[in-house]
Structure 1
Amino acid sequence: MAITACSASSPDSTAVSASGPRPTETAPLSAATNAWWSYTRPATFDSTRTSVKVPAGDGTQLDCSLVRPAKNGAPAAGRFPGLVIEFTPYAVIRSTFESEAAYFATRGYNGLVCNVRGTGPSGGTWQHAMSAQDSRDARDLIEWLAIQPFSDGRIGMFGESYGGQTTYGAAIEQAPHLLAIAPLQPPASLYDDVIYPGGIKTTEGGTIDNWPGTAQLLSQGRIDAAAEYAANREHPTFDSYWQERSFAGRYSAIKVPVLTVGGWEDQYFRSGTLANIEGALNRTWAIYGPWQHLSPIAFPNCPGLCNPEGLAPGLLLAWFDRWVKNLPDVPIPTRPTFVSYEGPAGIGDGWREVSNYNPKNGARTQTLSLSQDGTLSADRGTSGSATFHQPADPASPAGSATFQTAPLTQATSMLGHPALTLRASLSGPDANLYAELLDIAPDGTSALVNNGFLRASHRTSHTTPTPAPVGTLITFDLQIRADHYRFAAGHRIAIRLSGGAADTLTPNPAPVDVTVATGTGGSVLHLPTIPDSSPTPAASTNALN
């Protein structure tokens, strides 16, 4: 089913008015959004579960749990819509995913929970994380469920993290019976999200790249952690291996309504989830909350996997009741909306409805210059420089360079993508360029707002890196990951530059000095600021520019 409530322009594009893009603004939640988030519907069935083998297109048998509406211990008579739920490698926790399916089965949906090929009891060979084969298999699961005698042929799909990736993949593969999807905290590009952000190899088993060990456990040992790390090392550039694991350039294939939920504090996919939203703005209802990498839906019977402070499952129920079950009067806003949590808690305004969001030019940009004396201000000042060394601990005096504003006279809110135009020279042919956007409190403690990564040799291409000319001043475009954040009055905005901590990023193999140009003609930080919050609830209109 193609979405008709949105702009007729390409889903990969953003409409711009004749007078130019309107600035991004936020307001309290609209009545339409409050009605959606308050939606509930009581259970009218019991549920029953059976194990089934579903053949993929090439005959590979995928192991699944089929959860159906039931009465008196037996499957209920009649035909029901269906949901493919949490198509992941995680066989060990499949019972938790079955409880999500039971929530929907008791409200009149068939639920299919399966393990990807080569994991758990499923047949076939593991293709390494988030392969294109997962997407093709997800399409096949949808089509199998649609043609069963207990199905009415109307199918949706949702999942969190890996399950969000397979959900997007099914939509990109254009499964014919798919009517709507809800990917929760999904990746967009495994290369840039986790393994090689900005071209820098993350530390294996460190703070970012730690999935293989968990996957080995949860797949019942069928994923080999050492082999997974080795496969990542074999592909240091954005080659065909990674390109098939990326959704970039493929969003126009999505023809169904999308509900995407992300977390600003998600340690893995906070940038990837937003990239997915931005890739299909005109057909995505987006929610970004104050969550780390747990399911943002607080399903019952979901210990350890669902955020207890997440959104009620009625949010997802409303989504599928509207698009898949096709019930009347379900309070889903008629056009895409973007709801975001402005943090930090107690300082930011919390939940806000965003209007005119445009990742390219919807925000007002505040430009701050890096100065030799370590300040950050609108005054470009005298030309100078600051140097940091790597490999070195960023906390050591020579291991980083920090620039900070004076205490803010009034609160400053940002929403979108900060960027650092870094003018620097290197004493060697390559270096890690790692930037941390910090919020420094009056007592001197700092909080990480978000970070940015760039390998110097990847400054123009992740497919064909080129060494940096030694001793030459180079302009590096260092993108800092997006956030929705308020810096309180009295706090300082800071940027810290380093090669990254060893437990996060693989250190540069050879010693190198990075000399940062400051002042006039030097480096500048661009912040996507938004105006003071409006006290008026958002109108029920398109949130996109």
Structure 2
Amino acid sequence: MHVPQETLTASPVKTASCRTILRRRRQMENAKYEVKVERNLLIPLSDGATLAADLYGPNAEGSFPALLSFYPYHKDDLIGASNEYPRRYFAARGYNVLLIDFRGLGSSDGIPHRAMDRGEGRDGAEAVEWIAAQPWCDGNVGMFGMSYGGISSLKVAYEQPPHLRAIVPIMGTDDIYIDYLYSGGCLSCLPSFGAWGSFMLAMNLMPPTLIDPAGRWYKVWQQRLEHAMPYIYPWQDHPSHDEFWQSGAVDCSQIKIPAFVIGGWRDIFPEAMPRVYEQLGSANKKLLMGPWMHTLPDLSPREPLDYLPEMVRFFDRWVKNEQNGLENEPAVTYFVQGSANRWRSERKWPVSRTTFSNFYLGAKRALATDPAGEDGSEQYEARPSVGTLAGLWDPTALGIGLPLDQGPDDLASVAFTSAAMQADTEISGSPEATIKIAVERGDDANLVVKLCDVAPDGSSSLISTGWLKAAYRNGLENPEAVPLEQVIEMRVPMVATSYMVGRRHRLRVSVSCSDFPRIFPTRTNPAIRVYFGGRRGSHVRIPIVPPPKNNGNYAEVRRPDPSVQRSPFFVSMTPRWTIERDLASGRTSVVTGSHQQSNMINGGAFDMNHVARASVTDSNPQGAAVHGDTQITLELPSVGQMIVKTTSWIGQDGLSLTGQISLNGTVVFEKHWRK
């Protein structure tokens, strides 16, 4: 079933400007086809549910390979508007491109899986095989997507559908517990529960916004409301890396097809994408890592890169089987931050010439490559508000939230600083900290280790961070009691990075017990003692990459054409990020969110106002909480105005969520979830 086709040109020229015409010709240099669109194809699943998809394809006779993206973010409004340009781009170059709604969301029917469930991959695998069997498909299918779309690409590839030839996961993860929700066993705070979780509460209550005359949309929506369960509801019940989380993780060694992995050093998954690349079971794989936050590379406010031509080359090679020499090129391209600010290409990741240097914590808060001869220690009392300057870790593509000067947070931590570096030093890879501590007060402790670059002017720039809860020091599956006043060793993995520390700059390692609002603090403020000195003392193992021979590995990248409108449906977006300190109450709050307005693909309008706030006082970490307020206003053709309102409160040990929907001023749905 689908609505009638619409046919549009891939990139119409609307001006006589020679410069504009030339730019657009360069942009469309490989475009061969006009684009036709089919709305709301219904893909049957084996259990009776149907997935709804939009198909953008070449307006030409014959069959073509297909590419699919699979999301919970609604093909007919939010993610559809965001993906309009990429899918027309691929369709104009000879691909059938399908954007598919998850089961029970958007225009798909059925009961949704819980977030990150393995069932999402099984549904996607069935969709791959259905697509391959259609007369407009030549039997070859690829898959791509960002964030949840990157996660679903990995999940579907793990299921090994026979006709899936290649994937491009962008800024995703193979294990959401490890990389985001419980980093080192530390419960995530504002990013997951507020910025994403409260927003998704509203999104998952929305009706299909493609209003069909037969009324299918209303039946799908009523089924959705009857079974509504917030994505975030079960997360606090599973603090360990138990079967709940393990069952949704992906063993990337079982993915044997070619994969092009794209990630960002300032993304919410900086460690995940290099790790996925390393573990993939395919010999034909590529890695692209930029300095980006959680946003598509061509839309990044920093170092934007036109990644779509690279994706086309990848899919042309492995889905169309064109012999374009891709496999003979360096597999890895990455951006070196800091004083370098340049792109490099390598054959492997980790870089094959990497060496490791231990930087030891020492007396007088020194950091050195030679361990101190005498043992020492320093007491530290937790301050839950430490961490606000480390950035937003934003999952909603706001384009803001880079780390600020870490100096004030360094002062509120136990910080160890090296002498000035004698030469430019490239740190590329995943550092690891080994810190010996004793918990002198409290039931548990979050250990947060940060590696920073201290410039000659004293400013401190964040390079990498690691988190580990003391109860999980021997593994994330089984927490162990934390003995008081006994020395324990904390091996803290730190996220991958590439960063050039300039000559005359210094390295700094700071140790604290909080990274707010990235993680919730422990329920009580611990006092710990940090041990250093001696050959087996606390240290950070840092991957150092020496310069290549003849400096021959600089890479050239393609910048986005500024004349091209890559977000044709968006009207406006105003992001939020504030850090508030109430000097009277001692409360620290971080606020994020946005006000977004866009036109919907099938007519109508989408207006979302989303605010998420995390607050804590240093004297009462137990009271740390996240509040979320989201209102989505829909103008739906032939239906009218629908308003979806949700409120969220998430604390250390429970939550309270409310959803309300009104249609043309009348409340038609209201529900509460509490625990």
TM-score tier after normalising by the smaller chain length = 0.7 to 0.9
Q: Distance in 1 between matches of 2:554 and 2:502?
A: 27
Q: CA deviation at 1:40?
A: 5.3
* SS of residue matched to 1:157: strand
Contact 1:343 1:486 in 2 (8 A): yes
- Closer, same or farther in 2 for the Cα pair 1:308/1:53, shift >3 Å? farther
Contact 1:284 1:336 in 2 (8 A): no
In structure 2, the partner of 1:149 is 135
Q: Distance in 2 between matches of 1:258 and 1:280?
A: 8
Contact 1:265 1:291 in 2 (8 A): yes
Q: Distance in 1 between matches of 2:466 and 2:28?
A: 38
In structure 1, the partner of 2:539 is 524
Q: Distance in 2 between matches of 1:535 and 1:241?
A: 50
- Closer, same or farther in 2 for the Cα pair 1:339/1:365, shift >3 Å? same
* SS of residue matched to 1:535: helix
Q: CA deviation at 1:391?
A: 4.4
In proportion to residue count, which structure has more strand?
2
Bigger Rg, which one? 2
In structure 2, the partner of 1:22 is none
* SS of residue matched to 1:210: helix
In structure 2, the partner of 1:172 is 158
* SS of residue matched to 2:328: coil
Q: Distance in 2 between matches of 1:418 and 1:411?
A: 18
Q: Does 2:44 correspond to 1:43?
A: no
- Closer, same or farther in 2 for the Cα pair 1:398/1:310, shift >3 Å? closer
Q: CA deviation at 1:533?
A: 4.1
Q: Distance in 2 between matches of 1:161 and 1:131?
A: 15
Counterpart residue type for residue 507 of structure 1: P
What is the correspondence of 1:336-485 to structure 2 with a 5 Å cutoff?
Answer: 337-344=331-338, 347-348=339-340, 350-358=342-350, 363-381=354-372, 382-394=374-386, 395=408, 399-427=412-440, 428-485=442-499
Which deviates more, 276-285 or 317-326? Answer: 276-285
Which deviates more, 212-221 or 149-158? Answer: 212-221
Q: Does 2:238 correspond to 1:235?
A: yes
Contact 1:39 1:315 in 2 (8 A): no
In structure 2, the partner of 1:260 is 261
Q: Does 2:283 correspond to 1:280?
A: no
* SS of residue matched to 1:174: coil
Which deviates more, 125-134 or 442-451? Answer: 125-134
Contact 1:425 1:516 in 2 (8 A): yes
Q: CA deviation at 1:429?
A: 3.7
What is the correspondence of 1:2-151 to structure 2 with a 5 Å cutoff?
Answer: 41-70=30-59, 76-91=60-75, 92-93=77-78, 94-151=80-137
- Closer, same or farther in 2 for the Cα pair 1:212/1:511, shift >3 Å? closer
Contact 2:65 2:94 in 1 (8 A): yes
**Percentage of matched positions with identical amino acids:** 28
Q: Distance in 2 between matches of 1:90 and 1:123?
A: 12
Q: Distance in 2 between matches of 1:429 and 1:284?
A: 45
Q: CA deviation at 1:103?
A: 1.5
Contact 1:186 1:273 in 2 (8 A): yes
Q: Distance in 2 between matches of 1:225 and 1:368?
A: 51
Q: CA deviation at 1:131?
A: 1.3
Q: Does 2:311 correspond to 1:316?
A: yes
Q: Does 2:520 correspond to 1:506?
A: yes
Q: Distance in 1 between matches of 2:453 and 2:175?
A: 28
What is the correspondence of 1:150-229 to structure 2 with a 5 Å cutoff?
Answer: 150-203=136-189, 205-206=190-191, 210-219=195-204, 221=206, 227-229=230-232
Q: Distance in 1 between matches of 2:505 and 2:357?
A: 17
- Closer, same or farther in 2 for the Cα pair 1:458/1:139, shift >3 Å? same
Q: Distance in 2 between matches of 1:275 and 1:57?
A: 33
Which deviates more, 213-222 or 350-359? Answer: 213-222
Counterpart residue type for residue 532 of structure 1: P
Q: Distance in 1 between matches of 2:413 and 2:228?
A: 33
Which deviates more, 272-281 or 89-98? Answer: 89-98
In structure 2, the partner of 1:333 is 327
The one-character-per-residue Cα deviations of 1:480-521 (angstroms, maximum 9, x if unpaired) are: 111111101111110111112432221111232111111114
* Higher RCO, Cα 8 Å, sep 6+: 1
Counterpart residue type for residue 523 of structure 1: S
Q: CA deviation at 1:88?
A: 3.7
Residue of structure 1 aligned with 2:529, choices 510, 515, 518: 515
Which deviates more, 209-218 or 316-325? Answer: 209-218
Contact 2:70 2:124 in 1 (8 A): no
Q: CA deviation at 1:474?
A: 1.1
Contact 1:171 1:178 in 2 (8 A): yes
Q: CA deviation at 1:99?
A: 3.4
Q: Distance in 1 between matches of 2:85 and 2:474?
A: 47
* SS of residue matched to 1:270: coil
Contact 1:407 1:491 in 2 (8 A): yes
The one-character-per-residue Cα deviations of 1:107-127 (angstroms, maximum 9, x if unpaired) are: 221111111112112112222
Unaligned runs of 5+ in 2: 1-26, 207-223, 387-407, 556-675
The one-character-per-residue Cα deviations of 1:114-144 (angstroms, maximum 9, x if unpaired) are: 1111211211222222211111111111111
- Closer, same or farther in 2 for the Cα pair 1:140/1:336, shift >3 Å? farther
Q: CA deviation at 1:225?
A: 11
Give the alignment's TM-score, normalised by structure 2.
Answer: 0.68
Q: Distance in 1 between matches of 2:439 and 2:533?
A: 18
The one-character-per-residue Cα deviations of 1:71-101 (angstroms, maximum 9, x if unpaired) are: xxxxx22111111124343443213324322
- Closer, same or farther in 2 for the Cα pair 1:305/1:340, shift >3 Å? closer
* SS of residue matched to 2:326: coil
Q: Distance in 2 between matches of 1:192 and 1:441?
A: 32
Counterpart residue type for residue 487 of structure 2: L
Which deviates more, 387-396 or 99-108? Answer: 387-396
* SS of residue matched to 1:193: helix
* SS of residue matched to 2:289: strand
Q: Distance in 2 between matches of 1:497 and 1:49?
A: 55
Q: Distance in 2 between matches of 1:326 and 1:397?
A: 52
- Closer, same or farther in 2 for the Cα pair 1:539/1:309, shift >3 Å? closer
Unaligned runs of 5+ in 1: 1-37, 71-75, 299-303, 541-545
In structure 1, the partner of 2:510 is 496
Q: Distance in 1 between matches of 2:428 and 2:238?
A: 33
Which deviates more, 306-315 or 486-495? Answer: 306-315
Q: CA deviation at 1:252?
A: 2.6
In structure 2, the partner of 1:486 is 500
- Closer, same or farther in 2 for the Cα pair 1:290/1:234, shift >3 Å? same
- Closer, same or farther in 2 for the Cα pair 1:46/1:202, shift >3 Å? closer
Give the alignment's TM-score, normalised by structure 1.
Answer: 0.83
Counterpart residue type for residue 83 of structure 2: F
- Closer, same or farther in 2 for the Cα pair 1:336/1:176, shift >3 Å? farther
Q: Distance in 1 between matches of 2:128 and 2:477?
A: 34
Contact 2:71 2:152 in 1 (8 A): yes
